[in-house]
Every structure is written in C-alpha cells, then in structure tokens.
Amino acid sequence: MLYHILLTDVCNLDCSYCGGFSIDDLEKAEVSYSLEELKRFIDGDPEADVAFYGGEPLLRILLLQKMMDELSARSFLVQTNATHLDELPTSYLRRLHTLLVSVDGREKITDGYRGQGTYEKAVANAWDAKERGFTGDMVARMAVSKNSDIYEEVTHLSSLGLFDHIHWQLDVIWGEMWEDLDAWLEGSYNPGITRLIDDWLDAMRGGRIPGIAPFQPVLSDMIAGRKSHIRCGAGIDSFAITPRGEILTCPICPEFEFALLGDVRTASPEDIRDRVHVGEPCTSCDIKDICGGRCLFANKTKLWGEEGQEKVCGTVRHLVSELERIRPMVEELLEAGIISWDELDYPKINNCCEIIP
C-alpha cells in the first residue's frame, strides 16, 4: 500500500489554492511519533511504498534521510515544490522511485499561483536532479485552476523534455466555486483535453507515447477490460500519516471524521486496508468502474453540492468519452507493434498521481 508521510505540515510557499500552514508555524510542526514506531507500522506491509509529503517535505531533509535509512519500504517517492531539492544529497536522490515536482505549467501561470520565481527554481532544481543521476520517474504535478489553459500548460511542460510524466489535479471542490467555472470548462478545459488527446494519438502514430498520467491508465484499463476502485486509492490502499501520527484516508482532510482511521503507534496496515469507500452519486454512476469515484474527499464532503459535483463529473465524462474515441486506433497501434503495452500501461505502482484530474 501507499503511505504519504507528512514530514511537516508547513510549507515555505503560500500557493493561492492551498490550505497548508505557513513557514511561520514551522516550530509547531515536528513529527511527534518515534522512528521505531513508524518502522514497526511500515514493517507490517511487505509491499509498502512510502511517499514523503507535507507541507513541504524537503524542509525536513535530515528526517527524510533517517526514514530512508530505517524503513523497509519497497519504494520511496517525494512530492515537493522542489525549491529545496538541490539540498537533498545525491545518494538519497538516486534511490527515489518517483519525484513529483509541483509546477503548474508556463512560468507566468505557475508563478501567478505559487509565487514569483517558483517556476524557475523548480525547473532548475529538477534539471539538476537529473544531472546528478536521478533516473526514476520525474513527474510534473500540476494544479489546474481558473487562469490555466490545460492545453498550453501541458504542452509547455512536455516541450521542456524534463518530465517523464505530467499529471494534474483540478482545483475544484475544496475552495469556493469559481464564478465563471461553466465558461472555463466548456470554452477552455474540455476543448483543451480534446486537443491534447488528438496530439497524444498523433505522437503514438509516430511510435512515441507522451507521458500523460491521466490518459495512460484510463485507456489501458479500457483496453484491458479492468475495473478500477478510486484511482488515488484513498481509504483503500493509500493513506496519509500526519506529523502527530494520525492515519488518514488521504493527506488533505485531517479535520473530517470519516478520514481518521487510527494512529501509527497502535494500528497495523491490515487494520486500515479497504476501510472507506465512495458513496453516492458514484456508487450508481454508469462510469464508476472506469472513473473509480475521482476523489474520496469530494465525494464525502460534497462541498460544492450536487450542482458542483455534476459540473466536475462532466470533465470526467468528457475525458472518458474522448479516450474511448481514440481507443480503436490505439489498439491498432498496439497490434502493429508501433507502441508497446508495457509503456502505455502506467503507473506500475500507485505513485501519488490521482489519475482522474
């Protein structure tokens, strides 16, 4: 199973769409369980994948190193804003399976949400990580909000030649609903997805599979006839451990009762496995087996009500129907050996990409 270990609650940035804690609270956010207690818990899962998360996990580099030295995890991942990535020693960097770098697309869009200079620093440090010998999966982890043009942002990040995969999550069903959401979805986001899928198919016709995280697993599952539970795994086989040792369904919902599953000092992985599932409207949705329910947090809290849920589900329906449209052509490319199934079928482990944006 996947465990997001929140090394701290605080972050050195102050992104417009994030509800995290400020760097001013840094001294309040030390991990309060012991490494031995965490080790006992992780040792209970022979297939543990550990993702360092925050806040900003690289504000706690020494603790991260100690955990990598002590924990018997199958793989280690880091999700970071990358502003301190250059401080992570190379020997630890090279051991990472996946590095998820928060960057939202073009420089002006990223800096607009995340603060002046964050794009330049993140991209420079991601290049530096590659130059220092990181050979794992470098994932651009985008948040997509009202100023984003999904086609332009993804195309730009792709053009850098830096990231192996690009993933995004929509900034929906946590803050206030945007006033012009309908116009953005219909005029920008959904048409942008169609253009990206068309470009993706064109590249595959040339034998190359651009690493676009939301497209690959959904299409692979359609082709293989596989059904999916919630794709991020929250509450089923993916969890978060807070600095205080609480075990949550996912990193972003500490204040909700449904999310609290136990304490790392006393629970075992088997106590928490498969504990929380999405409810209506997902349980009776006709595309549940392919969508999986999108987001457990959104499903449980329903912060935007039925109307908001329908708007967001419209994006899932559009994505699924567009991938269904190109599916016969992709199957032909696979049969002809122009692209490989092994490359298309991504990710091989739950790597913190929630898949459905």
**Interface residues toward ligand SF4, by CB under 6 A:** 232, 234, 250, 252, 281-282, 285, 287-288, 291, 293-297, 313, 316, 354
Residue 272: CB minimum distance to ligand SF4, A: 15
Nearer Cβ to ligand SF4, position 101 or 296? Answer: 296
Most distant CA pair in the chain, distance: 58
Residue 20: CB minimum distance to ligand SF4, A: 13
Q: Give the residues across from 52 on adjacent strands.
A: 5, 78
Nearer Cβ to ligand SF4, position 95 or 226? Answer: 226
Residues 6+ apart with CB under 8 A from 50: 3, 5, 42, 67, 71, 73, 75, 76, 77
Entry field: residues in the chain: 357
Nearer Cβ to ligand SF4, position 252 or 267? Answer: 252
The continuous run of DSSP H or E covering 222 comes out as helix 215-224
Nearer Cβ to ligand SF4, position 29 or 352? Answer: 352
Nearer Cβ to ligand SF4, position 162 or 285? Answer: 285
Q: What is the DSSP string of 5-29?
A: EES-SEES---TT---EEGGGGGG-
Residue 294: CB minimum distance to ligand SF4, A: 4
Nearer Cβ to ligand SF4, position 112 or 233? Answer: 233
Do residues 110 and 69 make contact, with C-beta atoms less than 8 angstroms apart?
no
Residues 6+ apart with CB under 8 A from 280: none
Q: How far is CA 125 from CA 60, 65, 83, 247, 353, in A?
A: 17, 19, 7, 31, 21
Residue 293: CB minimum distance to ligand SF4, A: 5
Do residues 239 and 261 make contact, with C-beta atoms less than 8 angstroms apart?
yes
Residue 320: CB minimum distance to ligand SF4, A: 8
Phi and psi dihedrals of 209, rounded to 5? -110, 100
Q: Is 6 left (phi over 0), alpha (psi -120 to 50) or beta?
A: beta
Residue 204: CB minimum distance to ligand SF4, A: 25
Q: Give the residues across from 165 on adjacent strands.
A: 139
Residue 179: CB minimum distance to ligand SF4, A: 22
Residue 242: CB minimum distance to ligand SF4, A: 14
Q: How far is CA 144 from CA 96, 218, 285, 315, 324, in A?
A: 26, 19, 25, 13, 23
Strands in the chain per DSSP E: 2-6, 10-11, 21-22, 49-53, 75-80, 98-102, 137-144, 165-170, 238-241, 246-248, 260-263
Nearer Cβ to ligand SF4, position 101 or 129? Answer: 101
Residue 213: CB minimum distance to ligand SF4, A: 13
Nearer Cβ to ligand SF4, position 271 or 280? Answer: 280
Nearer Cβ to ligand SF4, position 204 or 212? Answer: 212
Question: Residues 124, 128, 134, CA angle at the centre, nearest 5°?
Answer: 135
